[in-house]
């Protein structure tokens, strides 16, 4: 298979035609001459033979001429190809030489640049190492400085917390001593104006004590006192109400016979006081806050329902996070947002569960579950020492009344500390220690002397004066109010002899919850049955109960809670 020829390299037909024409002419002349010279009988065969020979000769000559021309053309092409190959070889040699020179130049340039880059990198590395060493030294110094500042801040924080705890403890002790002094003054004075001022101071002091307890809770110090005996839920609610400013608007619809263990009573009471104060503060000034108590298998549920604004999603999440007890730091607290944080600390300490929900009264409802772990039965009565029979006195409504101090089995003569201040033994209140100190004859024998009962005439006069005082301190009725679906039974206090119970209206004096029997039952840890004369606007309890305590809510009401079962 031959390579195709280019259009310019194709053989020309002119030489082939010339050779064919010349050969044909000469052959024709020779044939004609031979035929003419031949005799007649052989002319015809001779003519055919010589003609064929002439044709063959012409073809052979033409073929030879074409082959010769083709050979010449191939020779010329070969010579041209040879020249082209030589030229290409020369060009390749030049290109190879140039490539070798360029390669060497690039290798030299690469080596030079690599050397320069190596030197530059080494210098840059040395500079960076030096800067890193300087920066490391600076960071070490800064770390040492910050560590010192952090340690100093921790020490200052610990010192501040310790100082705050000590200040809160001093405030608690001062509030307790002030309350004891006010109680003694309330027992001594019978003038209505003086008694009103003392009751007002008693209530304010109780609120200051609650604030000191809140500070103590937030700083991790011991809050309040540890009760030696279990406290009933009724007394817990009364004690919590006596520690807030808006106690007149609190309505307790049902109570429980459960008792809270003494070690947790103060914390639960403080948490309830904070929730009641929060509900009263965030409700309209004339709106009431309703409290319901229900016993469930898991414990006791205390429900606080207000008529204030419903919390939004953000506020609800913030409140739930505050009462969960997960936040233990003080960074996010403000001076006006301490209540829920205190509730969270106390809930975490005593195992309380606090949750929020919309209230059927248009506001927010708070559910507090007091677990069974801190619930107990009433404490057994302590054996009392032989004392004269108590002097019976007519029913009285004044806070200052006859009471008998509880005799402790480990009663000992009171000791005096520096500056002549009385020392209180564990399980005794400061008021009892002061009374024992003021009665050396009875203190030496380990028994508490009963107070001298006032004359019957004086008691009646005090009843009349205090009844007029209660009518005087009642605020004006803001207007007609729609009654509840079922009128709740009044909350019955744990009374001492001759003390009044809080009524179900706005006009209840602070003495009923602070200086009155509610504070006695919670502060001194004692209750005493006594005859009770109801106020003009106060329904009387069942006299068969002995202490005027109602038997429960109205039986016509299907549930103690207006919304039904609070556990659903």
The pLDDT value recorded for residue 224 is 66
Phi and psi (nearest 5°) for 533? Answer: -105, 115
- Alpha-carbon dihedral angle through residues 431, 434, 439, 442, given to the nearest 10 degrees: 60
Q: Decide if 89 is inside a domain.
A: yes
- Structure token pair of residue 525: 């840890």
Q: Using pLDDT thresholds of 50, 70 and 90, give the confidence band for residue 432.
A: low
The pLDDT value recorded for residue 37 is 77
- Structure token pair of residue 415: 């000791």
Asked if pLDDT for residue 416 goes beyond 70, the answer is no
The pLDDT value recorded for residue 332 is 57
| Mean of pLDDT values over 397-402 | 34
Asked if pLDDT for residue 400 goes beyond 60, the answer is no
| Mean of pLDDT values over 50-61 | 80
Give the H or E element holding residue 368: strand 364-371
More confident call, 490 vs 351: 351
Q: Decide if 562 is inside a domain.
A: no
The pLDDT value recorded for residue 11 is 56
Asked if pLDDT for residue 499 goes beyond 60, the answer is no
- Alpha-carbon dihedral angle through residues 146, 151, 157, 161, given to the nearest 10 degrees: 170
| Mean of pLDDT values over 180-206 | 89
Instruction: Out of 350-364, 401-415, 435-449, 523-537, give the one with best mean pLDDT.
Output: 350-364
- Percent of the chain's residues with pLDDT above 70: 61
Q: Decide if 344 is inside a domain.
A: no
Q: Decide if 295 is inside a domain.
A: no
What average pLDDT does the structure give for the chain? 70
Q: Using pLDDT thresholds of 50, 70 and 90, give the confidence band for residue 390.
A: very low
More confident call, 408 vs 383: 383
| Mean of pLDDT values over 63-79 | 84
More confident call, 298 vs 360: 298
Q: Decide if 308 is inside a domain.
A: no
Do residues 186 and 198 lie in contact, with contact meaning Cβ atoms separated by under 8 Å?
yes
Q: Decide if 230 is inside a domain.
A: no
Asked if pLDDT for residue 470 goes beyond 70, the answer is no
* CA-to-CA separations, 391 to 450, 454, 533, in angstroms, rounded: 9, 9, 18
Which residues are registered as beta bridge partners of 118?
none
Q: Which domain holds residue 82?
A: 15-164
Buried b (16+ CB within 10 A) or exposed e, 11-24: eeeebbeebbeebb
Instruction: Out of 171-185, 425-439, 479-493, give the one with best mean pLDDT.
Output: 171-185
Asked if pLDDT for residue 496 goes beyond 60, the answer is no
pLDDT in tens, 275-322: 999 889 888 888 899 999 999 999 999 999 988 878 888 888 888 888
| Mean of pLDDT values over 394-419 | 38
How many residues make up the chain in this entry?
A: 568
**The total number of structural domains that make up the chain:** 1
Q: Using pLDDT thresholds of 50, 70 and 90, give the confidence band for residue 133.
A: very high
Q: Decide if 237 is inside a domain.
A: no
Which residues are registered as beta bridge partners of 232?
259
Q: Decide if 106 is inside a domain.
A: yes
Q: Using pLDDT thresholds of 50, 70 and 90, give the confidence band for residue 336.
A: low
The pLDDT value recorded for residue 118 is 93
pLDDT in tens, 1-25: 445 555 555 556 666 677 777 777 7
Cα–Cα distance between 41 and 241 in angstroms, integer? 171
Lowest mean pLDDT, pick from 94-98, 213-217, 409-413: 409-413
Give the H or E element holding residue 197: helix 192-218
């Amino acid at each position: 298979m031959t390579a195709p020829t280019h259009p310019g390299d194709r053989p020309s037909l002119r030489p082939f035609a010339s050779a064919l024409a010349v050969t044909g002419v000469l052959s024709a002349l020779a044939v004609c001459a031979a035929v003419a010279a031949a005799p007649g009988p052989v002319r015809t065969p001779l003519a055919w033979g010589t003609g064929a020979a002439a044709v063959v000769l012409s073809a052979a000559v033409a073929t030879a001429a074409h082959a010769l021309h083709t050979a010449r053309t191939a020779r010329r092409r070969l010579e041209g190809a040879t020249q082209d190959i030589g030229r290409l070889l020369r060009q390749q040699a030049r290109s190879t030489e140039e490539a070798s020179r360029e390669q060497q130049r690039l290798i030299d340039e690469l080596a030079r640049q690599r050397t320069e880059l190596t030197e530059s990198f080494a210098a840059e590395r040395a500079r960076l190492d030096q800067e890193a060493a300087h920066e490391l030294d600076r960071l070490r110094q800064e770390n040492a400085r910050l560590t010192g500042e952090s340690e100093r801040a921790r020490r200052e924080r610990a010192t501040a917390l310790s100082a705050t705890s000590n200040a809160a403890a001093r405030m608690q002790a001062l509030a307790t001593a002030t309350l004891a002094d006010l109680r003694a003054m309330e027992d001594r004075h019978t003038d209505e104006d003086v008694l009103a001022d003392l009751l007002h101071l008693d209530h304010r002091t109780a609120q200051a004590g609650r604030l000191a307890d809140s500070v103590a809770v937030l700083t991790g110090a011991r809050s309040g006192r540890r009760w030696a005996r279990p406290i009933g839920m009724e007394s817990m609610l009364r004690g919590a109400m006596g520690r807030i400013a808006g106690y007149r608007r609190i309505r307790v619809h049902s109570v429980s016979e459960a008792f809270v263990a003494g070690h947790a009573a103060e914390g639960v009471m403080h948490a309830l006081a904070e929730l009641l104060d929060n509900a009263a503060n965030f409700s309209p000034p004339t709106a009431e806050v309703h409290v319901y108590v229900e016993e469930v298998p898991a414990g006791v549920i205390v429900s606080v329902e207000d008529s204030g604004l419903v919390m939004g999603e953000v506020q609800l999440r913030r409140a739930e996070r505050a009462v969960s007890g997960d936040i233990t730091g003080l960074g996010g607290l403000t001076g006006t947002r301490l209540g829920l944080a205190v509730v969270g600390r106390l809930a975490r300490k005593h195992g309380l569960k606090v949750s929020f929900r919309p209230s059927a009264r248009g506001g927010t409802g708070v559910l507090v579950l007091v677990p069974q772990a801190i619930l107990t039965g009433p404490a057994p009565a302590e054996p009392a020492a032989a004392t004269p029979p108590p002097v019976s006195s007519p029913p009285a409504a004044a806070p200052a009344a006859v009471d008998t101090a509880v005799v402790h089995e480990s009663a000992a003569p009171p000791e005096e500390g520096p500056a002549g201040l009385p020392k209180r033994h564990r399980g005794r209140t400061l008021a009892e220690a002061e009374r024992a100190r003021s009665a050396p004859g009875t203190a030496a024998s380990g028994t508490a002397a009963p107070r001298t009962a006032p004359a019957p005439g004086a008691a009646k006069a005090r009843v009349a004066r205090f009844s007029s005082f209660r009518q005087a301190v009642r605020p004006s009725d803001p207007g007609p109010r729609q009654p509840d679906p079922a009128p709740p039974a009044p909350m019955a206090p744990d009374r001492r002899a001759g003390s009044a119970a809080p009524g179900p209206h706005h006009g209840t004096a602070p003495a009923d919850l602070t200086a009155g029997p509610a504070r006695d039952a919670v502060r001194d840890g004692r209750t005493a049955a006594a005859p009770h004369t109801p106020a003009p606007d106060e329904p009387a309890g069942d006299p068969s109960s002995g202490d005027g305590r109602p038997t429960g809510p109205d039986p016509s009401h299907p549930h103690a809670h207006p919304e039904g079962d609070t556990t659903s």
